Structure 1
Amino acid sequence: MTARTLHLPVAAAEHVDHLVEYARRGERGGYDHAWLPETWGRDAVSVLTRIADETATIGLGPSVWNVYSRSPALVGQTAATLQEISDGRLRVAVGPSGPAVVEGWHGESFDRPLRRTREFVEIVRTVLSGEVAEYDGEVFTLGGFRLRCDPPETPVPIEAAGMGPKSVELAGRFADGWHAIVLTPDGLRDRLSDLERGIELGDRSRGDVPVSLSIPAAVSPDGERAREQCRNHIGFYVGAMGTFYRDSLARQGHEEAAQAIAEAVANREFDRLETLIDDPLLEQLAIAGTPAEARAQLDRWESIDGLDELAISFPREADRADVRRTIDALAPGE
């Protein structure tokens, strides 16, 4: 059975209290986990600390922390602390993000993202084990220290995000889970073969690496309004966040559409998105419509073989009422 989780919005929250509210609403609705993206707004650590303190059962964690803005040792320390605060409810997802954020916001060189992610995962895992962290890698070299506090009683899964074949293979080989985004059902199935190759290379089993897909969702009595929000959201990712999402969509057989979307967004021709991301393509990338339409789409996604967790995320234009309505309409108990 596919678990249902939340990807908390980074836009529809005028205050940290609203993010806490969404997590608590998700907990009441039966969602298994509340993921918090970290972009260029609020930091995930502070918000997750509040959420841990004001919830009781829902899992929590960042998806994702990029592997450039914090050292792996610091991520290990932070994960150990959050695991203690949350009484064992933490999962951590890391990934390279992309040049737009890493270079444009953090001022770091987007260098060797796959190698850096692999070493990052390995070091964080060592730190959380409580053993002395001795590491001599191609990117990181460190040694002589261990956690000054006891390691977590409940191990913290260290999961990895990825879209391309090699990054997904890396997740299968080294991480405790794979976080996917901007994938169609067929695109997800293609990447699952890359994941399985990594699992084989790592001499692991499929159960060691659960698959989580984040999908934008909007539910409204006005189904067209919901679809417009998701179109604009997908257009932003494909057209304004560097080449990674565009390349991912192109790999999935939509190269012409990906290029046209990027050009439309670059030229601020947002009215073209209704044609470029038509209803058939939108249904391959989002859940959008009236409550009845959205629940039918949700069922189709959760029936995909190999998908362990569907993370409901929210379009950038969603307001607080939109987020609440979508959480409630797609709650597992509904």
Structure 2
Amino acid sequence: MTADLKLGLNLGYWPASPPPGQLELVKEADACGYDSLWTAEAWGSDAVTPLAWYGAHTSRIKLATGLIQLSARTPACTAMTVATLDHLSGGRVILGLGVSGPQVVEGWYGQPFPRPLARTREYVDIIRKALAREEPVTSGGPHYPLPYPGGTGLGKPLKMIVHPLRGRVPIYLGAEGPRNVALAAEIADGWVPIFYHAERGPKAYAGALEDAPAGFEIACPVTVNVTDDVAAGLAVVRWTLAFYIGGMGAQTVNFHFDLMGRLGYADEAAEVQRLFLAGDRAAAAAAVPDDLADGIALVGPPARIRERLQLWRDSPVTTLLVGGIRDPAHLRTLADLL
């Protein structure tokens, strides 16, 4: 149970062009006490540039990547980026990392996807060493060896020129599978699930989180739709779920589809995927169960949202990363409800 549930503003990544009004949302979140601001990346806008822009227009809110994709940057480059932004923002950075999936990693970044857990462990270790700046950074791992074995033979261990403002920046891992979540509990400061069901999530992830240390953070994205039309609000959430279950991954390798089975929706997910891959996206969205959509979101008038917030307070989640909000007034409404 979370005694003091925090709020974060989740902006995600851009669609075809920058969404209007996001700076106003950020300023309102900063003004009304939101704990953190999160940006993402897929194969379009990057996660860091918007944070630097928003950080220049705010003074307090934490700046979090949710998530930086491992394959987009070497761990040394990520460490440099974090150290730079942390200085510019006065120590407000949270580094969220994720491995993405084979379609993006191999298709867009041109990097191998196998052994994502081992790669993540190595990646985080190098970042920790670089930011600690206790000695020149070396790594003997097979994925990111430093110095690089081969080439000219002139590579040498180096220590970051910049002295990081903080020698240990919080690192959160995005993860869905039980082993990935357990890795986050072992090596990171927090976990970012993509879909966490307020009622079914605690049981589904209990084993993976059993060794999480005290103070371990769970920052959970939650779509918020303040509306009197609950059915219409849930329909928006169902469209998102249908896209991830049916289209974000191959038919045989889709981590979001697998997660639905662990949450108890295996048969429903199979039907959603079948319809989506057959080209009937409207039917796929309609096939997403209402209680699944309702469990990962906060939808309805303020009174209903206030009631359903108790489910999240009763869960291990420590921060709600609210997304889908377009009206700055709704950010303050949610802050007032908490």
Q: Scaled by the length of structure 1, what TM-score is found? A: 0.88
Seen in structure 2, the aligned counterparts of structure 1 residues 71 and 237 have a Cα distance that, compared at 3 Å, is same
Q: Which amino acid aligns with 1:213?
A: C
Contiguous gaps of at least 5 residues in structure 1: 200-204
Partner of residue 119 from structure 1, selected from 122, 139, 143: 122
Partner of residue 331 from structure 2, selected from 315, 327, 330: 327
Q: Which residue of 1 aligns with 2:184?
A: 171
CA distance in 2, matches of 1:13, 1:84: 31
Q: Which residue of 1 aligns with 2:165?
A: 152
The 5 Å alignment of 1:208-223 reads: 209-223=216-230
- Give the stretch that moved more between structures: 214-223 or 225-234: 214-223
Q: Which amino acid aligns with 1:308?
A: T
CA distance in 1, matches of 2:275, 2:334: 31
Q: Which residue of 1 aligns with 2:248?
A: 241
Please say if residues 87 and 164 of structure 2, whose CA atoms lie closer than 8 Å, have aligned partners that are also in contact.
no
Which protein has the larger Cα radius of gyration, Structure 1 or Structure 2? 2
CA distance in 2, matches of 1:290, 1:269: 31
Please say if residues 135 and 142 of structure 1, whose CA atoms lie closer than 8 Å, have aligned partners that are also in contact.
yes
Please say if residues 65 and 95 of structure 1, whose CA atoms lie closer than 8 Å, have aligned partners that are also in contact.
yes
Please say if residues 222 and 322 of structure 2, whose CA atoms lie closer than 8 Å, have aligned partners that are also in contact.
yes
> Equivalent pairs: percent with the same residue?
30
Contiguous gaps of at least 5 residues in structure 2: 148-156
Q: Which residue of 2 aligns with 1:254?
A: 265
**1:193-235: per-residue Cα shift (whole Å, max 9, x none)?**
31223x4xxxxx322x211211222222433322111110111
Partner of residue 194 from structure 1, selected from 195, 204, 208: 208
CA distance in 2, matches of 1:221, 1:13: 29
Match of 2:193, SS state, is strand
CA distance in 1, matches of 2:96, 2:291: 31
Seen in structure 2, the aligned counterparts of structure 1 residues 179 and 235 have a Cα distance that, compared at 3 Å, is same
- Give the stretch that moved more between structures: 14-23 or 138-147: 14-23
- 1:290, distance to aligned residue in structure 2 (A): 2.8
- 1:327, distance to aligned residue in structure 2 (A): 2.6
> How many residue pairs end up in the alignment?
320
Q: Which residue of 2 aligns with 1:227?
A: 234
Q: Which amino acid aligns with 2:207?
A: S
CA distance in 1, matches of 2:310, 2:112: 41
Q: Which residue of 2 aligns with 1:202?
A: none
Give the structure with the higher percent helix.
1
Structure 1 residue 295 and structure 2 residue 298: aligned?
Answer: no
Q: Which residue of 2 aligns with 1:206?
A: 214
Q: Which residue of 2 aligns with 1:137?
A: 141
CA distance in 1, matches of 2:332, 2:41: 24
Please say if residues 230 and 288 of structure 1, whose CA atoms lie closer than 8 Å, have aligned partners that are also in contact.
no
**1:259-298: per-residue Cα shift (whole Å, max 9, x none)?**
1111122223233245422322222222222333233222
